[in-house]
């Protein structure tokens, strides 16, 4: 393959959208949910399994619960649970550890 073709192929492959793969195995066993400013970066994103895995990895939470933004759930303190509130369009409104009583 001539050198200009290699450069073109490299440019095309770098311009392709890269999907982020996050596995549930990125949450260490025995870990607890940790709130950080990173969780705010997920606000406004549409809910999906991939996003859930990213939220779990960012918070180190072994469990995740999606709830309606209007839900009035009784507060349940659980240091391993991340509660993600969604709006009517299924977009993230907030993400908080259940241990903070934000559920």
What value, to the nearest 5°, has the Cα angle with vertex 96 and ends 93 and 102? 95
76 compared with 63, residue with greater pLDDT: 63
Per DSSP (E only), the strands in 41-80 are: 63-68
DSSP annotation of 84:
E
Query: How crowded is residue 103: how many other Cβ atoms within 10 Å of its Cβ?
Result: 20
Hey, which of 23-37, 58-72, 84-98 has the most confident mean pLDDT? Answer: 84-98
Q: What is the reported pLDDT for 68?
A: 86
Q: pTM to 2 decimals?
A: 0.69
pLDDT at 3: 52
Q: Which of 56, 75, 74 is nearest to 84 (CA)?
A: 56
Higher-pLDDT residue of 96, 8: 96
3-state secondary structure of 6: helix
CA atoms within 13 A on the CB side of 83: 21
Q: Encoding tokens for residue 20? A: 């982020």
Say if residue 48's pLDDT is above 50.
yes
* Mean pLDDT computed over every residue of the chain: 77
* Spatial separation of the C-alpha atoms in residues 22 and 50, rounded to whole Å: 7
**Token pair of 102, please?**
């934000």
In which band, very low, low, confident or very high, does the pLDDT at 24 lie, cut at 50, 70 and 90? Answer: low
């Amino acid at each position: 393959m001539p050198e200009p073709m290699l450069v073109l192929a490299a440019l095309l492959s770098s311009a392709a959208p890269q999907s982020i793969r996050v596995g549930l195995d990125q949450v260490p066993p025995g870990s607890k949910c940790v709130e950080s400013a990173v969780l705010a970066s997920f606000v406004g994103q549409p809910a999906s399994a991939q996003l859930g895995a990213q939220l779990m990895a960012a918070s180190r939470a072994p469990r995740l619960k999606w709830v309606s933004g209007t839900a009035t759930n009784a507060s349940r303190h659980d240091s391993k649970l991340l509660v993600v509130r969604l709006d009517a369009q299924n977009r993230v409104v907030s993400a908080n550890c259940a241990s903070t009583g934000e559920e």
